[in-house]
Amino acid sequence: MAGRLDLKHGAVDMSHGSGGRAMAQLIDQLFRKHLDNDLLARGDDQALLAPPAGRLAMSTDGHVISPLFFPGGDIGSLAVHGTVNDVAMCGARPLYLAAGFILEEGLALAELARIVESMAAACNACGVPVVTGDTKVVERGKGDGCFITTTGVGVVPEGLDISGANARPGDAILVSGHIGDHGVAIMSKRENLGFETEIHSDSQALHDLVAAMIDAVPEIHCLRDPTRGGLASTLNELAQQSGVGMQIREPTIPVRPEVAAACELLGLDALNVANEGKLVAICPADQAETLLAAMRGHPKGMDAAIIGEVFEDPHHFVQMETAFGGNRIVDWLAGEQLPRIC
Amino acid sequence: MAGRLDLKHGAVDMSHGSGGRAMAQLIDQLFRKHLDNDLLARGDDQALLAPPAGRLAMSTDGHVISPLFFPGGDIGSLAVHGTVNDVAMCGARPLYLAAGFILEEGLALAELARIVESMAAACNACGVPVVTGDTKVVERGKGDGCFITTTGVGVVPEGLDISGANARPGDAILVSGHIGDHGVAIMSKRENLGFETEIHSDSQALHDLVAAMIDAVPEIHCLRDPTRGGLASTLNELAQQSGVGMQIREPTIPVRPEVAAACELLGLDALNVANEGKLVAICPADQAETLLAAMRGHPKGMDAAIIGEVFEDPHHFVQMETAFGGNRIVDWLAGEQLPRIC
Ligand SMILES: Nc1ncnc2c1ncn2[C@@H]1O[C@H](COP(=O)(O)OP(=O)(O)OP(=O)(O)O)[C@@H](O)[C@H]1O
Ligand SMILES: Nc1ncnc2c1ncn2[C@@H]1O[C@H](COP(=O)(O)OP(=O)(O)OP(=O)(O)O)[C@@H](O)[C@H]1O
Ligand SMILES: [Mg+2]
Ligand SMILES: [Mg+2]
Ligand SMILES: [Mg+2]
Ligand SMILES: [Mg+2]
Ligand SMILES: [Mg+2]
Ligand SMILES: [Mg+2]
């Protein structure tokens, strides 16, 4: 297959989605080159994987974030972290990823290469390879540069039972660090806010933090990453799924001052803002301090905090004691404040 | 979660991708309703699956076909068939699907419901459920109605070794039926060709045909579905991957007269036209008749044929004896004739 891609000046055109020679070149010279591993190199219609020794976990996420590159990350690394995290949120060890690209005609190959290199770096850092992929191209004006859908599978260690349905009255609610960084980083970039200190996305893989947490407290009841809709929507999801109420305390929720200031300026509630490297954990009250210590002992959980507890409530309300001592209902995000945040 | 979707007059808006209440409603009232199964109903960030008893196969495909509905299928059923087939092309039994939707603002909910209903019907027909999903929304003009990326996992029966790298000189090449139906159905719809008899896509799941073939001839060397790029690109891929040459005979390749006529009119070569319900098989010559009989004994392989054989060739050329007795090189599809065909 002769012909080299012009990675400096070239752009994606419709032939890169044709199933013919141009597509094969793009896959070989760009995707397989960067995402290189034995399983992907096989080049069949499917990857063949060793039989996992236990229950499988499987999760998928489309990524349509705009802009493609942002402070603290880009769509390539985000597409790895996002799916690794969803797989890990039942305690599973993520093993493999599939990646489907939908490219818009005209996307610079240099930009695509940056995205795929970043994806490859994230895969290497997590130890989770892309083992199979797909490349489609749509006409100019029918896409937006690059969408990436990643699907992950992982294996669940024996004995764990972690689910959004498992929160019980009396349980403690923890968060692994500062909330709102990702959403505010994207929005401040979009709105071109002139903050002195740039706010960075928290996009990161949490499977290693989860492994440390499970080691310390195998009885964890729930894990969830508060992505779109933020902490508020995630707590409401968990309350609904478990059929319980929740009480959280505003002053205990870690929010960076820069993020709080940006939220103020943008008219956002930090509780509704997306995170891409944080998790919520719920565990029996008598294990909460042990879990907190395990989280704080890990670099990705340094700023972890206990933020509230679960109680019985037929309405499944999430309530928050505010900084001023009042109490308010924390509702699901309504409408859409932060489009294309992930 | 109060509020009913207006499935008759409603449309997708940005709030359906927010991670908030509107998205939760869309997932509950439309996706979960139709794709209903116990694994999906769990509602966690990942599906939990029983440990498969053997090697896993994993494959992903984005679907960006235009138009969304076409004679013989739609993007919903296609997204199931396409990935089921890629998983099956190593002899695996497909078990589970993940589905990521990227919706364009303004898509009619009634149209989305038709797509998801059709997807659900295809899942039921194949016995392969969607166990986890994702829903993103992009602004008007940044997508094209609906893109669906499906990822499948399956389990590979012990003892099989089917790969595009396994073709050996002397092997026979078979195809499971008429080629070109899918691509011509889409193109004739787009170009509004006024054919008397409408040409239908062959979109269908082939895992059951594959199971019957493996039963008869476990020594099958290669299986591949000739999708984008058509039979010509698939044979070139296999020749390249196995490091062999191929000789096929034009008169033995099944092409419907209507499809041949449409190709003539559209200036297409049927060998380059996409199929979504056909497969190419390569097996030892002395098993070819047994395999052919097994294929013809199955409703999805009724029109199967032996179309050529593998030979040694350092150039990895695919050559074809034409209807007129000449011989020509069958090359990869170059450029792009059939954009957004799947
Ligand atoms: N973006 C990508 N990154 C890594 N590998 C890729 C990528 N796109 C395709 N591949 C790999 O290239 C090979 C061919 O992919 P292709 O999508 O053409 O196969 P297919 O799914 O059988 O065809 P179709 O998509 O037309 O149905 C596969 O091995 C696939 O894993
Ligand atoms: N189109 C869909 N079809 C079926 N199930 C879906 C669909 N979209 C989402 N789901 C299911 O709804 C639940 C919530 O999905 P959601 O995408 O909000 O979770 P997430 O991936 O953790 O969040 P994010 O996408 O913001 O990272 C999951 O159980 C998921 O499987
Ligand atoms: Mg997610
Ligand atoms: Mg999640
Ligand atoms: Mg593909
Ligand atoms: Mg395919
Ligand atoms: Mg295929
Ligand atoms: Mg998701």
- The pLDDT value recorded for residue B2 is 54
Element of type H or E holding A287:
none
Among A35-39, A68-72, B272-276, B322-326, the least confident range: B322-326
Cβ-based contacts of A51 with chain B (< 8 Å): 51-56
Q: In this predicted structure, what is the pLDDT of residue A256?
A: 97
Task: Please count the residues of chain A.
Answer: 342
Would you say A72 and B72 are in contact if contact means Cβ atoms under 8 Å apart? no
Does B38 contact chain A (CB < 8 Å)? no
Give distance in angstroms: CA of A78 to centre of ligand 5: 22
For residues A116 and B10, give the distance between their C-alpha atoms in angstroms, rounded to a whole number: 37
Q: Which of B119, B134, B146 to mutate to test ligand 2, by most ligand atoms within 8 A of the CB atom?
A: B134
Is B19–A233 a contact, with Cβ atoms under 8 angstroms apart?
Answer: yes
Which residue out of B26, B46, B150 would a mutagenesis test of the A interface target, given it has the greatest number of A Cβ atoms within 10 Å? B46
Residues of B in contact with A42 (CB under 8 A): 163, 165
State the residue for tokens 């349509």: A64
**Would the pLDDT of B58 be above 70?**
yes
Q: Which amino acid is at B219?
A: E
> Poorest-confidence range of A71-75, B64-68, B188-192, B298-302?
B188-192
What is the spatial distance between Cα B22 and Cα B15, in angstroms, rounded to a whole number? 6
pLDDT of A51 reads 84
Comparing A94-103, B57-66, B188-197, the range with the smallest average pLDDT is B188-197
Best of B115, B135, B150 to mutate for ligand 2, by most ligand atoms within 8 A of CB?
B135
Adjacent-strand bridge partners of B281: B174, B223
The architecture (CATH level 2) of B172-329 comes to: Alpha-Beta Complex (3.90)
End-to-end CA distance of chain A: 36
* CB atoms near residue A112 (< 10 Å): 26
- Distance from the Cα of B275 to chain A's closest Cα (Å) equals 12
Shortest distance between the Cα of A43 and any Cα of chain B, in A, equals: 8
The pLDDT of B254-270, averaged and rounded, is 94
Name residue A98's beta-bridge partners.
A132, A151
**C-beta atoms of B57 and A49 within 8 A:** yes
Phi, psi of B208, rounded to the nearest 5 degrees: -75, -40
d(CA B109, CA B26): 9
Q: In the block, which residue shows the tokens 């509630």?
A: A269
pLDDT attached to residue B230: 96
Average pLDDT over residues B18-42: 95
pLDDT at B315 over 60: yes
pLDDT tens profile A294-308: 999 999 999 999 999
Give the model's pLDDT for residue B334.
83
The conformation of residue B199, written as its DSSP 8-state character, comes to P
Q: Where are the alpha helices (DSSP H) in A146-206?
A: 181-190
CB < 8 Å to A229, chain B: 18-20, 23
In the numeric block, the tokens 């947490």 are attached to A213
pLDDT tier for residue A333 given thresholds of 50, 70 and 90: confident
pLDDT-derived band at A334, boundaries 50, 70, 90: confident
User: What are the extents of the domains in chain A?
Assistant: 14-156, 172-329
pLDDT for B196 equals: 63
Between chain A and chain B, the number of residue pairs with CB atoms below 8 A apart is 297
What is the sign of the dihedral through the CA atoms of B66, B72, B74 and B79? negative
**Ligand 2 in reach of B101 Cβ (< 6 A):** yes
Q: Give me the helix-helix angle, A109-126 and A75-88, nearest 10°.
A: 30
Could you say which of A42, A55, A336 has the minimum Cβ distance to residue B163?
Answer: A42
CA of A141 to the centre of ligand 1 (A): 24
Residue A337 confidence (pLDDT) = 79
Residue nearest (by alpha carbon) to ligand 2 atom 13? B43
Bigger pLDDT: B4 vs A275: A275
H helices of chain B, where? Answer: 21-26, 33-34, 38-41, 75-88, 109-126, 181-190, 207-216, 230-242, 257-266, 288-296
The string of DSSP codes covering A85-104 is HHHHTTT-EEEEEEEEEEEE
Other Cβ atoms less than 10 A from the Cβ of B191: the count is 11
Instruction: Give which of A161, A121, A43, A143 is closest to B236, Cα–Cα.
Output: A43
Helices and strands per DSSP (H, E), number in chain A: 10, 14
Residues 303-342 of B with CB under 8 A from A: 331-340
Q: Angle at the Cα of B179 (from B273 to B333), degrees rounded to 5?
A: 30
- Which of the ligands is closest to the CA of residue A342? 2
Per-residue pLDDT at A2: 54
Measured CA to CA, the distance from residue A110 to residue A145 in angstroms comes to 12
Which helix (H) or strand (E) covers residue B169, if one does? none
B14-156 folds as 60s Ribosomal Protein L30; Chain: A; (3.30.1330)
Minimum-distance ligand 2 atom for the alpha carbon of B101: 1
Question: Ligand 7 centre from A129 Cα, in Å?
Answer: 21
Is B45–A340 a contact, with Cβ atoms under 8 angstroms apart?
no
Give per-residue pLDDT as tens, B204-226: 999 999 999 999 999 999 999 99
Q: What is the mean pLDDT of chain B?
A: 95
pLDDT digits (tens, 9 = 90+) for A31-56: 999 999 999 999 999 999 998 889 99
Task: Please enumerate in sequence order all residues whose Cβ is within 8 A of that of A54, keeping only pairs 6 or more positions apart, or say none.
Answer: A155, A156, A157, A158, B51
Span A176-235, pLDDT tens digits:
999 999 999 999 888 777 666 689 999 999 999 999 999 999 999 999 999 999 999 999
Distance from the Cα of B145 to chain A's closest Cα (Å) equals: 9
For residue A16 and ligand 2, the question of a CB distance below 6 A is answered with no
Q: Is the CB of B257 under 6 A from ligand 2?
A: no
| Banded model confidence at residue B188, pLDDT cuts 50, 70, 90 | confident
- For residues B340 and B75, give the distance between their C-alpha atoms in angstroms, rounded to a whole number: 11
Residue B1 has pLDDT above 80, yes or no: no
Distance CA A71, CA B283 (A): 53
CA of B225 to the centre of ligand 3 (A): 31
And the tokens for B3?
A: 């509020």
Give the closest residue (by CA) to ligand 1 atom 5. A133
Distance CA B38, CA B51 (A): 16
Q: Nearest CA to B233 among B195, B265, B280, B198?
A: B280
Q: Check if the interface score ipTM surpasses 0.95.
A: yes
Secondary structure class of B23 (helix, strand, coil): helix
Token readout for A48 is 């063949």
Going from the C-alpha of B59 to that of each of A75, B13, B214, the distances in angstroms are 21, 31, 20
Q: What is the mean pLDDT of residues A142-149?
A: 98
Q: Choosing among B40, B107, B130, B149, which should be mutated to test the A contact, i.e. which has the most A CBs within 10 A?
A: B149
Residue B147 burial by CB count (10 A; 0-12/13-18/19+): exposed, middle or buried?
buried
Indicate left, alpha or beta for B60 from its phi (over 0: left) and psi (-120 to 50: alpha): beta
Give me the pLDDT at residue A87, please: 98
CB neighbour list of residue B316: distance below 8 Å, 6 or more residues apart = B236, B239, B240, B243, B244, B245
Cα–Cα distance measured from residue A320 to residue B17, given in angstroms and rounded to the nearest whole number = 26
Closest C-alpha to ligand 1, atom 9:
A134
pLDDT of residue A196: 62
Residue B189 has pLDDT above 90, yes or no: no
pLDDT in tens, B84-140: 999 999 999 999 999 999 999 999 999 999 999 999 999 999 999 999 999 999 999
B147:A102 CB<8 A: yes
